[in-house]
């Protein structure tokens, strides 16, 4: 050590200033050891996270292939049943696959990744279309369908990375939120008297307070979200004030693109109806197309129902979480005076945020921050 310092003094170069961690090579320093151990723990945690993500994606891929394989077996095992009658059996198979996924999660500790399943489903349908179905489709419909798929992929990436309205220390409503955080305990202690006069023409300041008042907690994201509607496992993100309109547009895009695939697949099947005309190779292709078409039909059915629900919520300015758990939030509760002979006061639902359908839709589409 002394010779090293002497070399610095005798040299023409400026003295070398050793950092605390550099000196630890000569003198052991407990603080530097703690830093090194902390870095090792961070790297180990990241490696485990990557490993878990890869395993989840593999499970999702296996689940998708198993689902599509079983769906493609239906027309082979039941060749004389029309497609509409195969739809309930397809739905039953999907329920079984979901049950197997939960079984693997509980027993083996391995779970699938819903966003990965959605991505793999898109690319699987796209591959079946490109290599099989597009032969029977006109050039115009081919271009339209491919553009739809590209837009769906871009929209999916956008909503997965979007901010639904997380409340952070830098957000405008953080101070207001700290003064009156929306906790379930406070909701139970508050008086359940809400005046109907709350529904009135609000000033900009009152609208800001109203939006901040609708901050809800997501247990999966472990964050407070402005205008929280629900947590979407398929998109891997919360749906809140800032991405609710994008979510609805993306749902419509999924339904339209899957309906387009169903129409294209039906045109393909109608051209290759019998195995004698098409041959053995085309039978396999036809079964794959039928299985993927049944999958898309089921998706379209529940997506249309989901779209109708969210249009209803947007029209009346209410969130899915608020509709389900309205008894937890005092602003949705109003006391009803008991009639003669009734021992207790009743509680009735009231929506203080509705301003009329047109204003509600305008507010929904404006995506106010």
Contact between 155 and 249 (Cβ < 8 Å)? yes
Instruction: Give the chain's end-to-end CA distance (angstroms, integer).
Output: 61
The kind and range of the H/E element at 302 are helix 280-315
Least confident of 34-43, 235-244, 357-366: 34-43
Closest CA to 159 of 35, 242, 222, 62: 242
Average pLDDT over residues 302-326: 95
pLDDT tens sequence across 69-105: 989 888 888 776 777 778 888 888 888 877 877 777 6
DSSP annotation of 98 reads: H
**The pLDDT of residue 194:** 35
Percent of the chain clearing pLDDT 90 (strictly above): 41
pLDDT at 40: 61
* Cα–Cα distance for residue pair 277/291, rounded to 1 Å: 20
**pTM for the structure as a whole:** 0.75
Q: How much is the average pLDDT of 283-296?
A: 91
Q: Which residue has the tokens 């041959």?
A: 279
Q: What is the pLDDT of residue 175?
A: 47
Q: What confidence tens digit (pLDDT) does each residue in 34-49 have?
A: 565 665 665 665 667 7
Residue-wise pLDDT for 13-27, tens only, equals 445 444 444 444 444
Q: What is the per-residue pLDDT across 160-200, written as a single tens digit (0 to 9) for each?
A: 999 999 987 545 554 444 444 444 434 333 333 333 333 34
The arithmetic mean of pLDDT across residues 115-134, rounded, is: 95
Among 189-198, 243-252, 265-274, the minimum mean pLDDT is found in: 189-198
Alpha carbon 229 to its chain's center:
11
pLDDT, residue 198, reads: 39
Indicate the average pLDDT of the chain.
77
SS3 332: helix
Given this model, what pLDDT does residue 334 score?
84
Per the structure block, which two tokens stand in for 64? 């998708």
Token digits of residue 307: 């779209």
**Taking the mean position of all CA atoms in its chain, how far away is CA 246?**
12
């Amino acid at each position: 050590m002394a010779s090293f310092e002497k070399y610095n003094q005798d040299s023409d170069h400026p003295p070398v200033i050793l950092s605390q961690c550099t000196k630890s090579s000569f003198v052991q320093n407990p603080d530097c050891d703690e830093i090194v151990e902390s870095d090792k723990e961070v790297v180990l945690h990241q490696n485990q996270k990557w490993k878990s993500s890869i395993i989840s994606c593999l499970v999702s891929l296996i689940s998708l292939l198993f689902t599509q394989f079983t769906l493609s077996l239906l027309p082979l095992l039941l060749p004389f049943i029309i497609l509409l009658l195969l739809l309930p059996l397809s739905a039953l198979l999907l329920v079984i696959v979901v049950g197997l996924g939960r079984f693997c999660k509980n027993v083996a500790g391995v779970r699938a990744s819903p966003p990965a399943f959605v991505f793999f489903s898109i690319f699987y349908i796209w591959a079946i279309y490109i290599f099989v179905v597009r032969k029977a489709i006109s050039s115009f419909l081919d271009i339209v369908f491919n553009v739809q798929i590209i837009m769906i992929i871009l929209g999916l990436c956008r909503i997965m990375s979007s901010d639904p309205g997380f409340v952070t220390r830098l957000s405008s409503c953080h101070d207001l939120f700290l003064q009156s955080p929306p906790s379930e305990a406070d909701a139970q202690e508050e008086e359940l008297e809400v005046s109907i006069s709350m529904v009135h023409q609000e000033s900009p300041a009152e609208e800001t307070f109203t939006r901040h008042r609708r901050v809800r907690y997501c247990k999966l994201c472990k964050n407070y979200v402005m205008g929280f509607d629900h947590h979407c496992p398929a998109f891997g993100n919360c749906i809140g004030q800032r991405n609710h309109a994008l979510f609805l547009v993306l749902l419509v895009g999924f339904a339209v693109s899957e309906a387009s695939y169903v129409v294209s697949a039906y045109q393909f099947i109608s051209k290759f109806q019998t195995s004698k005309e098409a041959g053995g190779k085309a039978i396999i292709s036809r079964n794959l197309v039928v299985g993927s078409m049944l999958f898309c039909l089921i998706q379209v059915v529940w997506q249309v129902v989901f779209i109708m629900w969210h249009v209803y919520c947007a029209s009346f300015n209410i969130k899915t979480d608020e509709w389900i758990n309205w008894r937890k939030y005092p602003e949705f509760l109003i006391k009803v005076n008991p009639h003669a002979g009734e021992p207790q006061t009743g509680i009735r639902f009231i929506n203080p945020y509705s301003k009329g359908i047109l204003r509600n839709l305008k507010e929904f589409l404006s995506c106010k921050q």
